[in-house]
Structure 1
């Protein structure tokens, strides 16, 4: 029997979906039947990846879509499964990652009127008034499938939303009776369901920006996620080299500009003080950034001219957000840069002497930053620092390595010391719900099986990732990757947040921050028990390099590995030394 579920699965196949990350429930008998029939008849449908936890399912789809640009499908059950997406849907929404999520719904008949009618007690308990409302604030499009007759059109319309900028997740739901219903096959011309075309700058605005650039003495580019399109990185390099414009990466979740380029002038996160390059700039081009700076303590001069280029330049989903700018362009950064480069390429009004002088100035800034960072990487004989750990990871990377960064309090350290120069090799979730790293690594490995995937995470974010589920999946679906845990025995970020607001408060005086993870768990063993991962723990800096090589070798041989690296303890209430406390305060200042 050809059912609505069969049509739904065919639509996913037609749309180019490769994987269904599935956490199935009592609302999916028709889908399970259709999948089983397809397997029996060797019919081509997206491959099902069984996901024992919904957070990992969506994080996997998230990682796959980030690296390929192609949305995948996640199937979950009713409102319980929908709610269990929790932080993962926040990440996909705020990170602008395309994905289609389908959830079942409790049957709406209870006396056998239709196939799929209620036959389990849970069908009453899981029936809620507004299941779609759970996702409404986080999905670009949500709808209920009420009939199988137009189910393919609904699927393709949903994916059209997901793939159109600003990209994001879409949510569909359908009751058992609807998904069980017999329907007539429908043929869809998928070429008529393409995403909206990317936008460009108005021609007169291109000229306006170019004229301001030519007059500027200290122009600056700030970006965060321009690197989501590797071609845009190449255009940005060309643009910056034409006028010797320095680049700052603010809270980056992609590789946006080569770190070894002399015009790369650093990273910033929750910068507690003023960035001098931002303060000195007379013209700033913000390109693809949600938070280019934090105005409380770090912002441009009031006399600076600011242009904002973004697929979402006024942040429509952020209730409080304002960065006054001369112009806001709702534009694809790749196209905007092509337009600007086109006008600048043969422009006779470029002051070559000024451009040359700027290059020398910012090359010195770049080199000074590089030397300062190198000093921080020097090994201690007593303990492992995050800087030294990141430098050691850098040494084992090659051109076939992809790194996922969920280091949280060590985000800046990882950005500063990893020195990534190739686009498409560094990814963050783009949002704030922890636990993305494990599932994302599976998705990335599925998309790029020939690449070495390294996931960098804090101990808190590692536990949020549901490592038991992650490593069971990695083992079953042959997606080995290396996890390196920056283990500081607790949540360091809440402590730093507290010190940022109350630097001399009672919490600081008593060293009571309620973030201590002692007694320390053997985190790597979780992965070993759940998925046969190679598990190793290290505290001695002299053993770190060999431990990393050993773990990487295990991954290359087809086995996931987890290296639990114990850093200088920075949050333990019982063991914290006063001198370390002073170091944290100095970092805040």
Structure 2
């Protein structure tokens, strides 16, 4: 039941601001991420003592922090942006929040209602259209008195699957207007799957010879990874990760784990070619990065999809889509699953064709036989490779870590050398837009102060939201930043042949030179060090990851070899 923080006896002096902050209290929101401007100032007068304001130095950074915070807590985060300019600055990470299905309430400042007809300075002329189509809902209420109800509705929409960001534009003179407390309102939402659809999928699983499960971030968002493991083991289904998944939804050291699918139609069909049933869970079927041709799935295969987003289900080109909460669907599937006969169960265990369940060993530099990577066997002048950096990190990995990644050119190496063994311990962006990783690390550290956050960031990505370091320093967060410095937008260079570039042909606009990440970090108040050889890598990482403070390592790597996605 919702309880108001102000009594009805105070209605005569009860303002829109009172009603809004009372509502935030009822839903457990006590943190606001922002970069304030003049049109937001009245919102923060008499700021409640139980609230904390997390200042970011740029609006995209602010939204990225709120995204990481919401994903770590599973609850809606609150963001305040400055009118049209602030929303415009934030659009890259609003797009990412939409693709990540992150529940987020965005309040945006607006000029006073009385001067809006004159297009005043800093006004947002079309505030509800500015962030579209990458918010689930946007409104500028017709009356000041309607602002609290609009924010209540925005919260309900943000938290309804498929979750996502919403925006409420609030004119500057609305906050001091008198209003009444919000009426009590409870919203229960249950998106259970069709019984007939679950029965049909269960029958298909019983009759198939070689099932494949393709899993996406929706499984982890629904906290359904434990059920997925049970269902996969029951049917001995090989597990593949959907293209561009932003979370770990299945333990990558499990014997059924079979690797990552690329965002390419022909390659997906080839990898899944020996399966007669494909079940896509919490993901699109399928996300592509380049144009493809031919069938969408192997000719002999049948496809089922379980996803919480009807829009995603609507563009699935073949098969059967079940729109449902993923956890509910897996619960129902397990409830109707029949025991699998031993002899039939054995026929499903075909040779693996995808990625390895155990981390591969880096070919260079030369490693000792100790799986914990004794650096004594390496010369102090041995150059670093990205694979070795990741393998060293894997050797130090702790179950209390949460890894946030934004290093697109190193992603396939991360998948090989830094397998994630526990769902809920990995985040990246599902949009492909840069500038998410650094602020998301800050947001997750704020949400989960007992965890150590490991942020693996490319040098190109780091420059999009480097201001995040200041907030991490001010908030005294426990983050180890690993900036992989290869001096270029390497992902573009590796992708260039897809668009007709010849081998070794120069790609303009991809070189990054003369950037001192150590100096940048220290300027924002973060301890930092440049690492250039293997001998010091393990020692420095071991000390930093065991520390409760933030440290940034600019790790100079000599190679990044990645398969284009």
Whether the TM-score (by the shorter chain) exceeds 0.5 is yes
Shift of 1:392: 0.9
Q: 1:524 to 1:291 in 2, by over 3 A?
A: farther
Q: Distance in 2 between matches of 1:416 and 1:291?
A: 24
Inter-partner Cα distance in structure 1 for 2:264 and 2:483: 24
Match of 2:200? Answer: 208
Please name the residue that 1:424 is paired with: 424
Matched, 1:67 2:63: no
Match of 2:321 among 324, 328, 338: 328
Taking the aligned partners of 1:137 and 1:518, their CA distance within structure 2 comes to 36
Q: Does residue 221 of the first structure (1) align with residue 213 of the second (2)? A: yes
Within 5 A, what are the aligned runs for 1:104-119? 104-109=109-114
Deviations 1:311-331 (A, max 9, x none): 125427xxxx84433211111
- 1:126 counterpart (106, 122, 134): 122
Alpha-carbon separation, structure 2, partners of 1:104 and 1:277: 50
Report the alpha carbon displacement of residue 293 of structure 1 after superposing the two structures with TM: 5.7
Match of 1:48 among 37, 50, 53: 53
1:373, distance to aligned residue in structure 2 (A): 2.2
Aligned to 1:279: 273
Residue 531 of structure 2 contacts residue 556 of structure 2 at CA under 8 Å; is this kept in 1? yes
Partner residue of 2:531?
A: 538
2-structure distance, mates of 1:543, 1:299: 48
Distance 2:422 2:297 in 1: 29
Residues 1:267 and 2:260 aligned together = yes
1:407 to 1:207, Cα distance in 2 relative to 1, 3 A: same
Give the SS at the match of 1:562: strand
Q: How far, CA to CA, are the matches of 1:459 and 1:384 in structure 2?
A: 15
Partners of 1:150 and 1:418 lie apart in 2 by 50
Q: Is the 8 A contact 1:390 1:417 kept in 2?
A: yes
User: How far 1:271 moved relative to its partner?
Assistant: 5.6
Q: Summarize the Cα distance change of 1:2–1:126 in structure 2 as closer, same or farther, 3 Å threshold.
A: same
Q: Do residues 253 (structure 1) and 246 (structure 2) align?
A: yes
**Aligned match for 2:476, one of 457, 475, 478:** 478
Distance in 2, Cα, partners of 1:463 & 1:72: 24
1:171 aligns with 2:163: no
**Partner of residue 229 from structure 2, selected from 216, 231, 237:** 237
Question: With structure 2 as the length reference, what TM-score do the two structures score?
Answer: 0.88
**What is residue 46 of structure 2 aligned with on the other side?**
34
What RMSD in Å do the two structures reach over aligned CA positions? 2.6
Give the equivalent residue in structure 2 for 1:354. Answer: 344
Give 3-state SS (helix, strand or coil) of 1:239's partner. Answer: helix
CA contact (8 A) 1:20 1:72 kept: yes
Residues 588/81 of structure 1: CA separation in 2 closer, same or farther (3 Å cut): closer
Structure 2 CA distance, aligned partners of 1:54 and 1:541?
37
Give the direction of change, closer, same or farther, for the CA distance of 1:512–1:230 in structure 2 (3 Å limit).
closer
Cα offset, 1:127, TM superposition: 2.4
1:496 to 494, 497, 507: 494
Distance in structure 2 (CA, Å) of the matches to 1:31 and 1:214: 58
Q: Which of 123, 139, 158 does residue 143 from structure 1 map onto?
A: 139
Q: What CA distance in whole angstroms lies between the structure 2 residues aligned with 1:103 and 1:420? A: 37
In the other structure, the counterpart of 1:15 is: 27
Q: TM-score, normalised by structure 1?
A: 0.85
Deviation, 1:550, is 3.3
> 1:310 and 2:297 equivalent?
no
Q: Which residue of 1 aligns with 2:373?
A: none
The answer for the alignment partner of 2:106 in structure 1 is 101
Look up the match of 1:374.
361
Matching residue of 1:515: 510
- Contact 1:224–1:292 under 8 Å retained in 2: no
CA contact (8 A) 1:260 1:421 kept: yes
Residues 307 and 326, structure 1, Cα contact 8 Å, conserved in 2: yes
Measured after TM superposition, the shift of residue 269 of structure 1 is 3.3
Distance in structure 2 (CA, Å) of the matches to 1:329 and 1:387: 39
Partners of 2:410 and 2:311 lie apart in 1 by 29
Contact 1:489 1:569 in 2 (8 A): no
Structure with the higher helix share, 1 or 2: 1
Change (3 A) 1:391 1:375: closer
CA separation in 2, counterparts of 1:186 and 1:524?
A: 51
Q: Secondary structure of 1:542's partner?
A: helix
Which sits farther off after the overlay, 6-15 or 20-29? 6-15
Confirm or deny that 1:551 pairs with 2:530. Answer: no
Q: Distance in 2 between matches of 1:308 and 1:447?
A: 32
Q: Does the Cα contact within 8 Å between 2:19 and 2:182 map onto a contact in 1?
A: no
Cα contact 2:91–2:131 (8 A) shared by 1: no
Q: Contact 1:536–1:547 (CA<8 Å) still a contact in 2?
A: no
Query: Is the 2:276–2:301 contact (alpha carbons within 8 Å) kept by the matching residues of 1?
Result: yes
Partner deviation per Cα, 1:460-501 (whole Å, 9 max, x = no partner): 111112x2x212111222223111112111101111221123
Contact 1:279 1:299 in 2 (8 A): no
Structure 2 stretches lacking a partner, 5+ long? 1-12, 368-378
Partner SS, residue 389 of structure 2: helix
